[in-house]
């Protein structure tokens, strides 16, 4: 989506309102990204202090979500946007919900830091979580970047990463199940890591949702529940499609 289109309204105030809305969304995204980064570090290092910071950041995320919802609704009522502007409202309202849930999952990951891990086996557990976490964090960063630039082609590429995250999740789960079978005493601690891995997998799903919203915003085409190959074809189609209506 050519963001210069946002500068073509008769009302300069409307332009400012749309830009402020996008800025709030990306600000929220930055906080959530930092939440996830800190949550992974807190879990791996068993840093309860950092984990509490992740929890505290959730208040900021929730506040921004409510502000963005209210601003979108106010703009819709007051400006009665059409075409691309209306899609922008629609997409932000949906994407902000996914972002808020990413923050919730980050808090669940940080909760692992409240447990105490010791021994080589349990260190390996957290290392496997860190590897998957770094991949998910990169995907989240790239997703927000694609949204910022309204880049449907990059969004389609990121869309494919969810399958890789799913494979990593399955691999981590096999490892965790092995640990529990070998040492039943480890089950309580391992289960905490299981929930954290599940949260990372869900964050991958949320990122995939947001990439689909980016494609919808740029192309005006709903690619949800669509074959991956078709998503790429739609995202790389006529770049003007969806911007003209």
pLDDT of residue 4: 43
Q: Which residues contact 97 (CB under 8 A, 6 or more apart)?
A: 65
Interior angle at CA 69, CA 88 and CA 89, nearest 5? 10
Q: What is the pTM of this model?
A: 0.86
Return mean pLDDT, the chain: 86
Q: How far is 7 from 19, CA to CA, in rounded Å?
A: 9
pLDDT of residue 7: 45
What average pLDDT does this structure show over 56-64? 96
What average pLDDT does this structure show over 56-63? 96
Architecture of domain 10-235: Up-down Bundle (1.20)
pLDDT of residue 205: 97
Best mean pLDDT range from 39-53, 77-91, 212-226: 39-53
């Amino acid at each position: 989506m050519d963001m210069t289109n946002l500068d073509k309204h008769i009302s300069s105030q409307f332009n400012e309102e749309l830009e402020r809305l996008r800025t709030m969304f990306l600000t929220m995204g930055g906080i959530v990204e930092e939440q996830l980064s800190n949550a992974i570090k807190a879990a791996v290092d068993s840093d309860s202090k950092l984990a509490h910071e992740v929890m505290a950041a959730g208040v900021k995320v929730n506040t921004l979500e409510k502000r963005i919802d209210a601003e979108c609704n106010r703009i819709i009522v007051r400006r009665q946007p059409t075409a691309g502007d209306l899609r922008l409202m629609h997409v932000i309202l949906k994407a902000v919900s996914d972002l808020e849930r990413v923050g919730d999952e980050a808090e669940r990951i940080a909760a692992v830091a409240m447990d105490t891990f010791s021994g080589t086996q349990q260190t390996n557990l957290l290392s496997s979580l860190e590897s998957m976490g770094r991949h998910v964090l990169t995907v989240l960063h790239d997703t927000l970047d694609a949204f910022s630039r309204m880049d449907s082609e990059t969004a389609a590429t990121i869309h494919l990463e969810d399958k890789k995250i799913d494979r990593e999740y399955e691999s981590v789960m096999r490892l965790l199940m092995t640990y529990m079978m070998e040492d039943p005493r480890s089950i309580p601690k391992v289960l905490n890591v299981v929930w954290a891995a599940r949260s990372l997998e869900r964050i991958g799903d949320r990122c995939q949702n947001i990439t689909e919203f980016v494609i919808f915003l740029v192309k005006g085409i709903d690619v949800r529940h669509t074959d991956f190959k078709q998503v790429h074809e739609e995202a790389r189609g006529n770049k003007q499609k969806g911007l003209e209506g």
